[in-house]
């Protein structure tokens, strides 16, 4: 790779990085931490509500119920797994990281939303045809990954534009000369 | 030769002068350092020997055929619950994941090398599993059985595959969750392929009918592997033309390509015949940069790109999304909500065939206006730029597919031990619990993947703009509406995956 090309890549990466950082820094939580009690109703093949939005630091208490068959509730990143029986006020809660522990019977599952981003809760008890696709979303704000991603993508647009302007002089003409039928084309 | 006149089209990139060590340079549109090629037959010991073996394709297809046969049996007689049946887990999770994340981007249409669907048809056509035949009647110099009809000219494009695939995907929820539906579709592919092989010559089924083929052809343009001729000089002096017409060493290209003039991956099924037939060893396998074929040759291919991108979006909503209503509609065969299903199907078809192409056209039209200069043919800009949706679409599909294996990959272990879901325990792993593999990391994989897709979309789009608009200023202005659209689409996926 030539020096100028290296510089060009370096500059581009810097712009994208800067824009990623700005994007990740932008999102804000919608309020101070609080205790949230939310009822989540499972049925074939979705949860109601489909999306739970909380802030980082919130204490989340979920009352899980099923409207038809036995469902599961496997919340990624929070080491939480529950089995939801229809017509039962209790759920059986366990920790996937500790399979040897006996599941606890609880009325509510509780956790502190310390990790930010979007995490899915999935059904972990085969419940029918679309069972593998039964899921809901927990969004813990501020969602820095989303902000950073949007920042990065916008940064790519900006970086491309800048670099084309700064370094593009002249190459345009070469491109036109090269664009037609290639001189090396096989007869 | 039947088929598209794709072979006769002028190559879109320069062909190469081959260096001694197999590493070669090509002129590249848009300046910068020349693109590289690495002749794999020259650098990987034993590979040349291997691809020249006549038994090679049989040796890889046959085991695959046996597996598919067993999958079909499991589909018919096994558990109707998808995640307990090997046909669902192996085809729609394992196969799909390997196909879209590894085979297509890194090995072009290598799936077609090992694909079992045309096995019976091709066997009947050739009257041989391994050897070759010369003589009449037949195609080129090869003796072949069957009617050997030419495929109709009007259908010599991928429109049939476009509509067929979209149609099939409208019922995808049933397809990927119910073993028996998979049996009908996969079994049907065997039947249709065999019949068409008897009626039409060579791989007409593959080129024009197979629903998998459409996106393989489109996305293999990005692939880092290619079959190409080495020296144009040798070909122009060659009297044998075995790569095209066949000879004692092998079959003429079954995919209707003129291998020595091939300049895109799209319709090369990587069958390795031309590597065997060329008497001068002038055909080879090369490694190359990602996104090297950039020329879309017709609206059928553009629309394939629209359809695939729309489907990636639709699946990310119906299968990965949390919304009950959409799931109920898409899953009408169980919920009975056929009204909702009609709405779902109509919006899918409208988005893929009209809305996305319409918005895309709008940005191309605006770009032509902003770019200024001498008037450019809209069709040329539309086709050229529609390539941007190829890397973006492929990477969106890859990002979509990672959760399938990370979340449900553990079913592979349990289903191996109990393939029919009937309480067997062949390997002692039947009770292996469903264990998602670090699902919380998926988002961190998906964002960079989308970023890579957007990067290549923007880069190829800008390079194409340069080739048409010339000056930097008008290239940027001309490409800007589409660049914004591409970025917005990438952000849309971002919203679905991590937002
Ligand atoms: S085109 Fe379809 S049937 Fe033909 S080899 Fe490829 S996947 Fe198999
Ligand atoms: S047989 Fe070999 S040398 Fe002859 S045209 Fe084909 S690739 Fe070229
Ligand atoms: S003969 Fe060569 S060009 Fe034709 S499909 Fe096979 S590998 Fe590709
Ligand atoms: Cu469930």
For residues A54 and A174, the answer to whether their CB atoms sit within 8 Å is no
Please give the number of the atom of ligand 2 that sits closest to the Cα of B283: 7
| Closest CB from B13, B260, B480 relative to A182 | B13
**Structure tokens that stand for B32 in this block:** 């910068």
- Kindly list the distances between the CA atom of residue B255 and the CA atoms of A186, B111, B206, B213, in Å, as whole numbers in the listed order: 20, 14, 8, 12
For residues B443 and A117, the answer to whether their CB atoms sit within 8 Å is yes
pLDDT at B13 over 80: no
Separation of alpha carbons B189 and B443, rounded Å: 35
Q: Measured in whole angstroms, how far is the alpha carbon of residue B443 from the centre of its chain? A: 25
Q: Does B167 touch chain A (CB under 8 A)?
A: no
- Tell me, letter by letter, the H, E, C secondary structure of chain A: CCHHHHHHHHHHHHHHHHHHHHHHHCCCCCCCCCEEEEEEEEECCEEECCEEEEECCCEEEEEEEECCCCEEEEECCCCEEEEECECCCCEEEECCCCCCCCCEEECCEEEECCCCEEEEEECCCCCCCCHHHCEEEEEEECCHHHHHHHHHHHHHHHHHHHHHHHHCCCHHHHHHHHHCCCCCCCC
- Segment B444-460 mean pLDDT: 97
Give A185's pLDDT tier (boundaries 50, 70, 90).
Answer: very low
Pocket test for ligand 1, best of B269, B270, B272, B273 (most atoms within 8 A of CB): B269
Separation of alpha carbons B235 and B15, rounded Å: 12
Q: Spell out where B144-244 has E strands.
A: 225-229
ipTM value of the model?
Answer: 0.89
What is the sign, positive or negative, of the torsion defined by CA atoms of B430, B433, B434, B437?
negative
Portion 85-124 of A in contact with B at CB < 8 A: 96, 99, 115, 117-120, 122, 124
Least confident of A106-115, B33-42, B102-111: B33-42
User: HSE-up of A128 (CA within 13 Å, CB side)?
Assistant: 17
Q: Does A150 touch chain B (CB under 8 A)?
A: yes
Residues with CB under 5 A from ligand 4 (ion): A 71, 123, 127, 134
- Output the average pLDDT for chain B: 91
Cα torsion B138, B139, B144, B148 to 10°: value is -90
pLDDT at B466: 93
- Segment B393-407 mean pLDDT: 96
Q: What's the A70 CA to ligand 2 centre distance in angstroms? A: 64
Per-residue pLDDT reduced to its tens digit, A132-151: 999 999 999 999 999 999 99
**Structure tokens that stand for A84 in this block:** 């939801």
Which residues does chain B have within 8 Å of residue A117's beta carbon, measured at their own beta carbons? 443, 498
Give B8's pLDDT tier (boundaries 50, 70, 90).
Answer: very low
pTM equals: 0.92
For residues A123 and A74, the answer to whether their CB atoms sit within 8 Å is yes
- What does residue A43 show for φ and ψ, rounded to 5 degrees? -150, 170
Separation of alpha carbons A108 and A176, rounded Å: 67
Per-residue pLDDT reduced to its tens digit, B193-207: 999 999 999 999 999
Q: Does A19 touch chain B (CB under 8 A)?
A: no
Which residues does chain B have within 8 Å of residue A135's beta carbon, measured at their own beta carbons? 320, 322
Portion 250-309 of B in contact with A at CB < 8 A: 260-261
List of domains in chain A: 35-141 (2.60.40.420)
Inter-chain CB proximity A184 and B15 less than 8 Å? yes
- Output the average pLDDT for chain A: 88
Helix locations, B319-388, DSSP H: 324-330, 332-335, 338-350, 356-371, 378-386
Pocket test for ligand 1, best of B60, B111, B115 (most atoms within 8 A of CB): B115
């Amino acid at each position: 790779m030539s020096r100028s090309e290296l510089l060009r890549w370096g500059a581009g990466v810097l712009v994208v990085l800067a824009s990623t950082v700005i994007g990740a820094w932008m999102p804000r939580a919608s309020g101070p931490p609080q205790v949230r009690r939310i009822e989540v109703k499972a049925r074939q093949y979705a949860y109601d509500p489909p999306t739970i939005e909380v802030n980082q630091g919130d204490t989340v208490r979920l009352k899980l119920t099923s409207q038809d068959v036995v469902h599961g509730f496997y919340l990624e990143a929070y080491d939480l797994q529950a089995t939801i029986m229809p017509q039962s006020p209790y759920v059986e809660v366990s920790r996937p990281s500790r399979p040897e522990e006996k599941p606890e019977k609880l009325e509510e599952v509780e956790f502190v939303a310390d990790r930010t981003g979007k995490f899915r809760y999935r059904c972990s008890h085969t419940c029918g045809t679309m069972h593998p696709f039964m899921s809901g979303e927990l969004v813990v704000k501020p969602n820095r990954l989303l902000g950073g991603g949007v920042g990065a993508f916008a940064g790519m647009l900006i970086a491309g534009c800048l670099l084309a302007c700064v370094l593009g002089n002249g190459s345009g003409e070469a491109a036109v000369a090269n664009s037609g039928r290639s001189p090396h084309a096989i007869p | 030769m039947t088929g598209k006149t794709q072979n006769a089209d002028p190559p879109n990139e320069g062909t190469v002068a081959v260096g001694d060590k197999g590493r070669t340079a090509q002129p590249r549109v848009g300046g910068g350092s020349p693109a590289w090629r690495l002749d794999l037959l020259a650098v990987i010991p034993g590979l040349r020997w291997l691809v020249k073996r006549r038994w090679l394709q049989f040796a890889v297809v046959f085991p695959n055929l046996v597996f598919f046969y067993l999958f079909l049996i499991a589909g018919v007689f096994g558990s109707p619950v998808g995640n307990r049946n090997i046909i669902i887990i192996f085809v729609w999770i394992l196969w799909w994941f390997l196909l879209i994340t590894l085979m297509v981007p890194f090995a072009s249409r290598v799936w077609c090398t090992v694909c079992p669907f045309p096995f019976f048809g091709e066997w009947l056509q050739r009257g041989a599993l391994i050897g070759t035949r010369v003589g009449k009647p037949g195609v080129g110099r090869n003796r072949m059985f069957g009617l050997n009809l030419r495929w109709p000219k009007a259908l010599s494009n991928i429109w049939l595959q476009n509509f067929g695939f979209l149609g099939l995907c409208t019922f995808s929820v049933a397809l990927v969750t119910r073993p028996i539906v998979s049996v009908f579709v996969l079994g049907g592919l065997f039947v249709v392929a065999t019949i068409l092989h008897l009626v039409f010559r060579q791989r007409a089924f593959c080129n024009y009918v197979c629903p998998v083929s459409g996106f393989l052809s489109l996305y293999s343009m990005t692939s880092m592997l290619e079959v190409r001729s080495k020296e144009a000089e040798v070909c122009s002096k060659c009297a044998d033309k075995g790569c095209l017409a066949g000879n004692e060493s092998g079959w003429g290209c079954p995919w209707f390509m003129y291998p020595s003039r091939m300049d895109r991956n799209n319709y090369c099924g990587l069958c390795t015949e031309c590597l065997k037939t060329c008497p001068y060893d002038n055909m080879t396998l090369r490694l190359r940069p990602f996104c090297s074929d950039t020329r879309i040759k017709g609206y059928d291919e553009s629309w394939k790109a629209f359809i695939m991108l729309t489907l990636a979006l639709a699946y990310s909503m119906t299968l990965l999304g949390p919304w009950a209503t959409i799931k109920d509609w898409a899953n009408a065969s169980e919920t009975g909500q056929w009204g909702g299903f009609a709405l779902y199907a109509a919006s899918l078809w409208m988005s893929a065939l009209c809305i996305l192409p319409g918005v895309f056209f709008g940005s191309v039209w605006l770009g032509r206006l902003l770019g200024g200069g001498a008037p450019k043919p809209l069709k040329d800009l539309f086709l050229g730029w529609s390539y941007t949706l190829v890397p973006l679409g492929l990477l969106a599909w890859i990002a979509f597919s990672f959760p399938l294996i990370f979340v449900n990959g553990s079913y592979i272990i349990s289903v191996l031990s109990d393939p029919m879901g009937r309480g067997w325990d062949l390997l002692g792993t039947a009770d292996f619990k469903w264990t998602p593999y670090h699902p919380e990391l998926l988002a961190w994989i998906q964002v960079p993947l989308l970023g890579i897709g957007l990067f290549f979309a923007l880069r190829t789009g800008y390079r194409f703009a340069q080739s048409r608009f010339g000056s930097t200023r008008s290239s940027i202005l001309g490409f800007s509406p589409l660049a914004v659209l591409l970025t917005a689409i990438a952000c849309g996926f971002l919203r679905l995956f991590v937002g």
